[in-house]
């Protein structure tokens, strides 16, 4: 009986640990997305200033985005994608 109780306690502890780990991973993804949006906002401000001044646009690849994220320019729109997911889209014209 004690062995069964110990096994149940171990299983419950593992389930709690697994759920905590899953929360941590999701939380880290949100922090990475927030960092990417912050960097993207900086890019958009600089791109708008370049358009207003008639100078060349900043290089999106020179911005320190988290791994898996990228900025693309499509006409007057700049897009931020992380792992294929569209996080932000702004006009730069």
Q: Is the pLDDT assigned to residue 40 strictly greater than 90?
A: yes
Q: For residue 38, what pLDDT band results from cuts at 50, 70 and 90?
A: very high
Structure confidence at residue 29 (pLDDT): 63
Q: What pTM was computed for the model?
A: 0.69
Is the separation of the CB atoms in 60 and 72 below 8 Å? Answer: yes
SS3 36: helix
Structure confidence at residue 30 (pLDDT): 82
Distance CA 68, CA 74 (A): 19
Residues 6+ positions from 36 with CB-CB distance below 8 Å: 65, 66, 69, 80, 82, 87
């Amino acid at each position: 009986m004690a062995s069964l109780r110990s096994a149940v306690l171990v299983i419950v502890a593992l389930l709690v640990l697994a759920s905590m780990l899953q929360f941590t991973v999701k939380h880290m993804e949100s922090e990475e997305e927030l960092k990417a949006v912050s960097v993207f906002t900086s890019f958009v401000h600089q791109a708008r200033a370049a358009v207003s001044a008639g100078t060349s646009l900043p290089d999106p690849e020179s911005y320190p985005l988290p791994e898996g994220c990228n900025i693309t320019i499509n006409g007057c729109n700049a897009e931020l994608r992380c792992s294929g997911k569209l996080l932000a889209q702004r006009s730069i014209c």
